[in-house]
Amino acid sequence: TVEVSAERFLDQNGVRKIILVFYDITEMKRSEKSLKDFVANASHQLRTPLTSIKGYTETLLDMPPADPADGRRFLETVLKNADHMDKVISSMLALAKSEQAGKRLRLGPLSGREHLSRAIDDLAVWAGERSVTFRTRTPEDEMYVMGETDGLLHVFHNLLNNAVKYSPHGGVITVSAEDDGESIVFCVEDQGPGISREHSTKVFERFYRVDENTIDGSGSAGLGLAICRRIVKNFGGEIWHDGYGEDVRGARFCFRLNKPAEKTP
Ligand code: ADP
């Protein structure tokens, strides 16, 4: 996109001249648009549960149900929607934080093994309730990567959380790590429905969800993978979906992080 400004004037010889200035405002327009899209998406994500909260509350005030069990059900719906809003707001704040943090992050060597097992421990109870188990395939040697501890945990949590969420009852989640010399590649693979190729890069965009129609109280707003991508980029790494191998049944997310120059912290 180009913006033009023009100014006429007479030069020293009395000749009429015109100055044309062309401004390239493509980048500005793009960031304006992405801010607009962000606000529109965020408003939509918050307004949907809010409308439901208002509807149920107004009904309770105007026409209280005769059966207290119905009243309770209404309140549970109100709470579920409020929880959803709470989680969406937390995700938006996490995204904003990771976007701001980019430039002034202090990266240091972190133990991949330690962070991975902390994340697995944190999800073990929830996974157990769904009879989902974790299997890890990691090298014998300790794996150090360059990063920042909260961010690395966040990425593991998010990928493992999604894997549990989409796993069938009794499913197995395989977490692997591979040292390719310069970097460590971590992959999380589940046995759920997987992600078709047309969605495989879009799922990393803010607010992108393959199935847009569910509000389940899980705070699913399509921000989780956008946050992961930002964090991994801040660490100088990359993240992608790679679920199309012949032996892959569900989704398979991988990310690569640099190893520190020296092996131990
Ligand atoms: P959400 O907060 O909705 O989980 P994410 O950014 O984590 O947002 O994921 C974006 C979308 O990618 C999800 O809504 C879902 O459609 C898809 N997705 C993510 N992880 C998986 C997975 N392990 N299996 C299947 N689909 C997934």
Q: What is the pLDDT of residues 191-236, one digit of tens each?
A: 999 998 889 999 999 888 887 655 555 657 889 999 999 999 999 9
Q: For position 214, what pLDDT does the model report?
A: 55
Determine if ligand 1 sits within 6 Å of the CB of residue 195.
yes
Q: For position 219, what pLDDT does the model report?
A: 59
- The residue among 108 and 24 whose pLDDT is bigger is 108
ipTM: 0.97
Hey, what amino acid is at 191? Answer: Q
Atom of ligand 1 nearest to the CA of 222: 8
Residue nearest to atom 21 of ligand 1 (CA): 162
Residue 68 CA to ligand 1 centre (angstroms): 37
Per-residue confidence band for 253, with pLDDT thresholds at 50, 70 and 90: very high
Quote the pTM value. Answer: 0.82
**Mutation test residue for ligand 1: of 45, 134, 203, the one with most atoms within 8 Å of CB:** 203
Residue 193 CA to ligand 1 centre (angstroms): 11
Question: Within 13 Å of residue 43, how many CA atoms lie on the same side as its CB?
Answer: 6
Residue 123 CA to ligand 1 centre (angstroms): 17
Residue 203 CA to ligand 1 centre (angstroms): 7
Determine if ligand 1 sits within 6 Å of the CB of residue 171.
no
Residue 100 CA to ligand 1 centre (angstroms): 24
Atom of ligand 1 nearest to the CA of 190: 23
Residue 117 CA to ligand 1 centre (angstroms): 22
Considering only 17-26, 47-56, 122-131, 228-237, which range has the smallest mean pLDDT?
A: 17-26
Residue nearest to atom 23 of ligand 1 (CA): 163
Residue nearest to atom 8 of ligand 1 (CA): 222
Average pLDDT over residues 149-177: 95
Average pLDDT over residues 41-55: 88
Average pLDDT over residues 101-109: 82
Q: Say if residue 25's pLDDT is above 80.
A: no
Q: For position 12, what pLDDT does the model report?
A: 81
Q: For position 216, what pLDDT does the model report?
A: 55
Determine if ligand 1 sits within 6 Å of the CB of residue 224.
yes
